Structure 1
């Protein structure tokens, strides 16, 4: 097994053990508890009608449970844990600079890079562009005044996008890329690891791992558990 293969194995294992397995566990435990939700009684009644064509415990459960488990829960965990992964596996260091996620030596030009991590090519909005540019500009300006990072360049501050291709980058990322590099998918992974084609190999191994996961019916189990508590709760009035 090559060093590249070992790194891919470690990344895939980290994603399984630190992101996917905890998500399954939380879906069967934490997210099945009614107290973990902030409930808008009007909206959940409407969504129950949309989902089940009537106001029922299972309809309310689906309205609460599915968005949490299939959306916010896994997406939040993914962003946080991937940042931790780069540090724990020794691929990068956590950044001491406020607003930056990681620091690493770029294997393409051997320069130190300060990086904000983003998940995919459409994960920022127009209102995110100015704060990112301001953070980079402010840090560079400060560094130049106190000689803390002598020789620093604009190109040393980057946005690293974990998946996708340059053709898929939204216009918001393209605005940032006009001033500071936005590296996405294979280019980002090759710069941070030094392995030229690691991204496609990582995709293949990640898919194989995902297909091997035991996910049979856990979503329905969790939703049904929540529905049982909802049916007993005084919060709702099912007629």
Structure 2
């Protein structure tokens, strides 16, 4: 496939390495919005764009792809308030949009465990808290993965109706804590505590490789499709 990588930072470089290793051609690696002015985007010169840019750029990049008839895979977080508009555009243009807050296979298994635990523990007087740790270069907090985990807890457990960053003052609100330190690829910890015991589930990424592999797999999978997709579609698909 012919791939454009939007956002040529650490993740962009890792995606390039994985994509080339799987026989794909990297057409361009625009790192800023201005770089797109040099690229004539069309299905003839690009099969899919993989976007790991910034919250400010993601919507522009995604919409440009959809309007140009090119499939787009985005893992950029921090723009969920505008994502729905891009989904509407995707359906309007019969385009292909694959969005996930996290492309790691392990994290998506972690999502399933989180939902199941939140459901099982509901009504048993346990209080939850969520901690996420990332490298100092990550711009958004909480992470997109942490927000997805928090929303899944709220949907699966009758105790909580919303989440908030930091300490809370009522039992209906789930606290989410964020830390930025060093070059940590990503750690997410969920703790459920009662007067008698505690239960913890944790996912720790050792490198960015798992995220990059997932993004390239998504790009391969979305080829020839139309619609809005996520990791559950990829993991539950046989083709």
**Looking at both structures, which has the greater relative contact order when contacts are Cα pairs under 8 Å and sequence separation is at least 6?**
1
Higher fraction of helix? 1
Higher fraction of strand? 2
Superposed pair shares fold, TM > 0.5: no
TM-score, normalising length: structure 2: 0.27
Say which one has the larger Rg. 1
TM-score, normalising length: structure 1: 0.27
